[in-house]
Amino acid sequence: MPDSLQTQPEVGVPDDTVFPPGVCYIDGRYTTMDQAKIPVLDWGFLRSDATYDVVHVWQGRFFRLDAHVERFLASVAGLRMTLPVERAELERILHSLVARAGFQDAYVEMVCTRGHSPSFSRDPRQARNRFFAFAIPFGWIASEEQRARGLDVHIAEIPRISPESVDPTVKNYHWLDLVMGLYQAYDAGRENVLLTDGGGLVTEGPGFNLFAVKDGRATTPARGVLHGITRRTALELCAELGVPAEAGPLSVEALKQADEVFLTSTAGGPMPITRLDGEPVGDGKPGPVTAKVTALYWDKHRDPAWTTAVDYSLKG
Helix (H, G, I), strand (E, B) or coil at 59: coil
Domain boundary among 113, 137, 161: 137
User: Do residue 122 and residue 154 come from a single domain?
Assistant: no
User: Do residue 162 and residue 220 come from a single domain?
Assistant: yes
- How many other C-beta atoms can be found within 10 angstroms of the C-beta atom of residue 269? 25
User: Do residue 109 and residue 153 come from a single domain?
Assistant: no
CA distance 249 to 247: 7
Rg (the chain; Cα; Å): 20
User: Do residue 224 and residue 188 come from a single domain?
Assistant: yes
Tens of pLDDT, residues 39-65? 999 999 999 999 999 999 999 999 999
Q: What is the pLDDT of residue 12?
A: 44
User: Do residue 170 and residue 80 come from a single domain?
Assistant: no
User: Do residue 107 and residue 224 come from a single domain?
Assistant: no
Whether residue 306 is contained in a domain is answered as no
Q: What is the pLDDT of residue 20?
A: 87
Q: What's the one-letter identity of residue 215?
A: D
On whether the CB atoms of residues 131 and 150 are closer than 8 A, the answer is: no
pTM across the whole model: 0.92
CA distance 212 to 303: 27
β-bridge pairing 29-32 and 151-159: unpaired
User: Do residue 8 and residue 123 come from a single domain?
Assistant: yes
Whether residue 267 is contained in a domain is answered as yes
Helix (H, G, I), strand (E, B) or coil at 71: helix
Question: Residue 295 belongs to a domain with what CATH number?
Answer: 3.20.10.10
Under 8 Å CB-to-CB from 192, ≥6 apart: which residues?
141, 142, 151, 152, 153, 154, 182, 185, 205, 206
Q: What is the pLDDT of residue 97?
A: 98
For 132-150, b/e burial (b = at least 16 CB within 10 A) is bbbbbebeebbeeebbeeb
CA distance 120 to 47: 14
User: Do residue 132 and residue 184 come from a single domain?
Assistant: no
User: Do residue 125 and residue 149 come from a single domain?
Assistant: no
User: Do residue 105 and residue 197 come from a single domain?
Assistant: no
Domain boundary among 137, 164, 198: 137
Q: What is the pLDDT of residue 16?
A: 55
Whether residue 310 is contained in a domain is answered as no
Domain boundary among 121, 137, 153: 137
Domain count, the chain: 2
Whether residue 312 is contained in a domain is answered as no
φ, ψ for residue 299, nearest 5 deg: -60, -35
Q: Tell me the C-alpha to C-alpha distance, in Å, between residue 307 and each of 87, 158, 291, 302.
A: 18, 37, 21, 7
User: Do residue 117 and residue 165 come from a single domain?
Assistant: no
Q: What is the pLDDT of residue 316?
A: 78
CA distance 117 to 46: 13
Q: What element of type H or E holds 264?
A: strand 260-265
Those residues of the chain that have pLDDT short of 50 are: 1-15
Q: What's the one-letter identity of residue 308?
A: T
Q: Which domain holds residue 258?
A: 144-301
On whether the CB atoms of residues 244 and 218 are closer than 8 A, the answer is: yes
Whether residue 175 is contained in a domain is answered as yes
CA distance 218 to 213: 4
On whether the CB atoms of residues 270 and 27 are closer than 8 A, the answer is: no
DSSP characters over 161-172: PPTTTS-TTS--
DSSP characters over 113-136: EEEE-TT--S-GGG-EEEEEEEEE
Question: Residue 113 belongs to a domain with what CATH number?
Answer: 3.30.470.10
Whether residue 313 is contained in a domain is answered as no
User: Do residue 178 and residue 80 come from a single domain?
Assistant: no
Whether residue 34 is contained in a domain is answered as yes
Among candidates 60, 116, 106, 70, which has minimal Cα distance to 90? 70
Whether residue 315 is contained in a domain is answered as no
